[in-house]
Amino acid sequence: MMRIVYIVLRLILGGMMLYGGVQKFQKPIPTPVEVVEKAEQFKAPEKEETLQKILYISGSKQTGYFWQVLGICELLFGLLLVLQKPGFIGAVFLLPITLHIFLFHLFLEADEVGELIQTGALFLINIALVLKEKEKWKQLLWLPI
């Protein structure tokens, strides 16, 4: 029974990462002028949180590589999870990405409780998938787990 649960968890996390990775390539990257024009609309103090999100995500896109690399990693590591056999490697490599996604929502969208719960659940699923395979990696940490 637990084996089926972990397969379902891999499919959920892998599917969400595949979806997120594809979404990174759906819209064209805005020009710096478009980013500034959009940001200008949210200069008021009560819209500061929205401005932070716009600047953070737009900045990631403006680097010319980070947004695309993130999308490729989500696609590749999500695929590893869905394929099941290399799922452990996908889970390990996804750990910092799911942590980052959760922290983004915690600090920049704390008022969006549904998204915070969803991203927190994905992070916890990722942790569970890595801990399930602790026999494979515990000797690397020299810890008696």
Helices (H) and strands (E) in the chain, counts: 7, 0
Question: Residue 119 and residue 102: Cα distance in Å, rounded?
Answer: 5
The structural domains of the chain, with segments of one domain joined by +, span 2-29+64-141
| pLDDT of 35 | 92
| Span 115-127, average pLDDT | 97
Spatial separation of the C-alpha atoms in residues 32 and 114, rounded to whole Å: 31
Q: Mean pLDDT, to the nearest integer, of 21-42?
A: 93
Length of the chain: 145
pLDDT digits (tens, 9 = 90+) for 83-115: 988 999 999 999 999 999 999 999 998 889 999
pLDDT recorded at residue 143: 62
Predicted confidence (pLDDT) at residue 122 exceeds the cutoff of 90: yes
**Average pLDDT of every residue of the chain:** 92
Query: Does 144 score more than 90 pLDDT?
Result: no
